[in-house]
Homo-oligomer: A and B are copies of this chain.
Amino acid sequence: MEHHTIATTRLTDAQRIDWLQLIRSDNVGPRTFRSLVNHFGSARAALERLPELARRGGAARIGRICTAAEAEREIAASRRIGVSLVAPGEDGYPPRLATIDDAPPLLALRGAPEPAMRPMIGVVGSRNASGAGLKFAQTLAHDLGEAGFVVASGLARGIDAAAHRAALATGTLAVLAGGHDRIYPPEHEDLLAAILDAGGNAISEMPLGHVPRARDFPRRNRLISGVALGVVIVEAAHRSGSLITARFANEQGREVFAVPGSPLDPRAAGTNALIKQGASLVTEAADIIHAVAPIMERPLELPAGEPDEPGTFDREPEADQRARIVGLLGPSPLGLDDLIRMAEVPPAVVRMVLLELELAGRLERHGGGMVSLV
């Protein structure tokens, strides 16, 4: 099966604390984290600049910065329940996940690192699945496992649970929306225990103690597609959460597979619609295995950083530049490229202003390089 040739990096203990501090600080998401490190050279340097940047961005109140002591406590508490915090390129960080542009800088991994490095297929679907849907998910997950793939899913009721269970013996990955000590739904703590006992994994980008809220589930779904070569949607009504996973998969360049159903069955409305939109129709595991084989041959492409001209790091944007950029932004998402063109200021300055706004809690980042004011 797949052999990755990525250079394996390894953070020092001090770096890991810096990274965790930065990603756990207010208004810092994975994209901001990357921008900050690109601009300032290291998480430590970025941390020192956070208050100033947020102030320049017009923060009403400067967000909380995670302290070194808090980061150390999270690392220690994680270790006690068998969870390690791994960075892209480190052992246990699913290699494909590192290729998405909002990859978590640190991923909380439970279980041995080896299975998390294997090729994965996401299998997701309705919580209130039909008997046929559950049976199909089982067969599919079993056959994918036999073919050497780890089955990634969301530990939800219905299709997700059926897929995890059928892949226990061959390896399965539960992708959590909350912290490792806040399993949802609670009745699947047993299933999670079975997954770990069998040598599988669970991952989360959230801190311990984080109770998953509604908005964390779509955010989590990008990780299910992110770790995988492709995602199979087994049963999904219109507007089902599984369709969000399919949308992420598309944006991430992952294969999207969908299981068809009768047009008279509302539980197939979402999957049939996906096939109309170009998803591959799946009736058996071989359809998936055949489709992803050529993708596994290609080397992984890590996202390029944002190269900045040396010396622009510390130059504060001029007030009129900042005003022009803020004036162009509004509640509707605007492309970064368009913004740079319209603002007529150097790209590095635009990115710096966006960082300031983001750290001030005034900017929202969307997929595909789109930004809007909050």
Contacts and interface: CB of A to CB of B under 8 A. Distances in A.
Given A136-B263, A260-B261, A283 B272 contact: yes
Interface string A253-285: 000000111111100110011011000111110
B259 A261 contact: no
A135 interface: yes
Output the residue of A260, A264, A269, A273 with the most chain B CB within 10 A: A260
Contacts of A287: 276
Q: How many copies does the complex hold?
A: 2
Nearest to A135: B264
A304 interface: no
A1 interface: no
A136 B281 contact: no
B263 A272 contact: no
A132 interface: yes
Contact of A260 (B136, B260, B284): B260
Given A275-B281, A276-B287, A287-B276, A263 B264 contact: no
Contacts of A276: 280-281, 283, 287
A37 B283 CA distance: 49
A162 to B, nearest CB: 14
Interface in A275-326: 275-276, 280-284, 287
A82 to B, nearest CB: 38
Contact of A259 (B263, B269, B281, B284): B263
A260 B281 CA distance: 9
Nearest to A279: B281
Nearest to A273: B283
Contacts of A259: 262-263
